[in-house]
Amino acid sequence: MRHLFILLCVVWSFTFAQDTQITILHSNDCHGHVLPFDIAGQQKVGGISPRMTYIKKIREKLTTKKQHLLLLDAGDLNTGDPFSDMLKGEPAVRIMNKMRYDAMAVGNHEFDLRLEDLLQQQKLAKFPYLSANVVYKDTQKLIFPPYIIIQKGDIKIGIFGMTTDDTPIVSTYGNDSRLQFLKHEVVIPKMIRELRPQVDFLIGVFHISLHQVVHLCKQFPGMDIVIGGHSHIITPEPIKVGKTLIAEAGSYGLLMGKFDLTFRNKKLVKWKHRNVGINLKSPIMSRGSNKVAVHASQKILDLDKEVEKIFQPYRQKVGKLLDEPLGVATKNFKRGRRHSPQSSTIGNLISDALRERTRADIALHNVGGIRADILKGNITYRDVKRVLPFSNSLYIYTLKGKDVLKILQMMADFDPTTGRFFEVSGLKFHINRGKIHDVFVGKKKLEKEKTYTLAVNSFIAQGGDGFSVFKELSQKVDTSFLLCDVLCDYIRERKIISPDRTARFTWKTSGR
């Protein structure tokens, strides 16, 4: 009996020694935020250099314990920070190579680069850009590898990527006629069928809205983990749908999600997940509850020397780019006078640029957000940054004509001398003693029940300047396009710009 007991103990400990430990670190929606940045109430958070310090530390720790690291990103590496945008995302890719990422999903904002530039960027990467649903329209051939199979210890892991199928609407060049984005519902079950028999563990890296991911996992069981991106949501803990665990790590590299997985006999027997903040001075609460989504960092991570060395030449290059002329203004573009509200030449220019980029029916821009004039002569990026200094992104709303009227009525109700009104594009109207008249969208009269698209910046979308009506409208998309970049592109494409002096609205206040 005693012998049997000892034997059992030996077998037991032997089995334990066979356990395979795999840690997954995941990021998403970094949007070019390679440098540390400020958020409400906190300075110098995130940044790719402290992230590197963290990854190196974890990798070292795991290696000494003979454990394994899997490093994944769920896409939208591009668009959102001028430093990165001007360099077409190059610094981020080169540093991700050094971090030894295993794979990245292709996000919609990867298509803010022209296809040729995106393929060039992918070539620079030493890790695969995965997408199982982006094809060339004419041949139906995949543009990116759909999946990879990686061996970590004795575990064979399949990883496949997905790109949101509304990319043609929510990216600059996603509407390229050579491209087609196949439906999630068609591709995901096919991938599961193909990969499941070949691997021990199946991971999806999905750049698809979180609510859609949850729905897709309900419809198609068979994935063990889905690493999500696109919604910029921090899941305080993974969402469990059947046997699938879903996690998303916010945005901008503010944190990394961390799964610690234990496998025995090639089966997952234990898992743990937490969100690790990158130099967070205070915790981040999860939306709509008082749960902590990410704890404050216990120790401030230093900058990584290797990364700083990579940055150096780029810093010089960007300094030069800031002063390079984008185009020429034939005359001054001036702001209007706040006490007598009317369209201004610079307001017309900005709202036209926003409307063109989003292909929306209407674009609005709050006059308070225009901080400088553009003067006759050469225009540089630095000049444009002075006009639009805030890091606001661009939202697209889908709304009814009656909602547009509600917005205009709100504007008419404010005292115009406070500057709480919009410059407009694609829209014409009159305000007479607080009443709205003759509203036209393009050349046609506005119809109350017709659906329109409207572009506006993130400040107003969050109810800025008192326009609470925008918070009530639910059909909206954050395009992540920075206003400043949109205007730069608009000028660069035209080379020469001249003021449009059309009065797009009139406002009679006397007798109010």
**Binding range to Zn ion, per CB under 5 A, among 101-109, 248-256, 261-269, 380-388:** 101-109
The least distance separating Zn ion from the CB of residue 504, rounded to whole angstroms, comes to 32
Long-range contacts of 37-46 (CB under 8 A, 24+ apart): 37/81, 37/252, 39/254, 41/282, 42/280, 42/281, 42/282, 43/281, 44/279, 45/254, 45/277, 45/278, 45/279, 45/280, 45/281, 46/252, 46/253, 46/254, 46/278, 46/279
Task: Convert 478-510 to b/e letters by CB count within 10 Å (16 or more is b).
Answer: ebbbbbbbbbbbbbeeeeebebeeeebbebebe
Residue with smallest beta-carbon separation from Zn ion: 230
Task: Convert 431-467 to b/e letters by CB count within 10 Å (16 or more is b).
Answer: bbeeebeebebeeeebeeeeebbbbbbbbbbeebbeb
The least distance separating Zn ion from the CB of residue 167, rounded to whole angstroms, comes to 8
Nearest CB to Zn ion, comparing residues 46 and 347: 46
The least distance separating Zn ion from the CB of residue 481, rounded to whole angstroms, comes to 12
Binder of Zn ion out of 26, 230, 357, 385 (CB under 5 A): 230
**Binding range to Zn ion, per CB under 5 A, among 91-99, 105-113, 338-346, 499-507:** 105-113
Q: Report residue 311: phi and psi, to 5°.
A: -65, -35
SS3 483: helix
**Binding range to Zn ion, per CB under 5 A, among 80-88, 213-221, 230-238, 470-478:** 230-238
The least distance separating Zn ion from the CB of residue 144, rounded to whole angstroms, comes to 16
Binder of Zn ion out of 32, 47, 91, 107 (CB under 5 A): 107
Nearest CB to Zn ion, comparing residues 63 and 175: 175
Nearest CB to Zn ion, comparing residues 393 and 425: 393
Nearest CB to Zn ion, comparing residues 108 and 279: 108
Nearest CB to Zn ion, comparing residues 108 and 131: 108
Three-state SS string over 340-391 comes to: CCCCCHHHHHHHHHHHHHHCCCEEEEEHHHCCCCECCEEEEHHHHHHHCCCC
The answer to whether 76 contacts Zn ion (rule: CB under 5 A) is yes
Binder of Zn ion out of 108, 172, 348, 358 (CB under 5 A): 108
Nearest CB to Zn ion, comparing residues 111 and 333: 111
The least distance separating Zn ion from the CB of residue 212, rounded to whole angstroms, comes to 12
Q: If you search the block for the tokens 């670190």, which residue do you land on?
A: 25
**Binding range to Zn ion, per CB under 5 A, among 14-22, 71-79, 92-100, 425-433:** 71-79
Q: CA nearest 238: which of 258, 219, 266, 255?
A: 258
Nearest CB to Zn ion, comparing residues 114 and 508: 114
Q: If you search the block for the tokens 């691997």, which residue do you land on?
A: 199
**Binding range to Zn ion, per CB under 5 A, among 70-78, 91-99, 313-321, 402-410:** 70-78
Nearest CB to Zn ion, comparing residues 169 and 473: 169
Q: In the chain, what is the greatest distance between 2 CA atoms, to the nearest angstrom?
A: 103
Binding residues with Zn ion: total (CB under 5 A): 4
**Binding range to Zn ion, per CB under 5 A, among 1-9, 103-111, 234-242, 386-394:** 103-111
Nearest CB to Zn ion, comparing residues 168 and 327: 168
The least distance separating Zn ion from the CB of residue 162, rounded to whole angstroms, comes to 12
Three-state SS string over 272-313 comes to: EEEEEECCCCCCEECCCCCCEEECCCCCCCCCCHHHHHHHHH
Residues lying near Zn ion in the complex (CB under 5 A) = 76, 107-108, 230
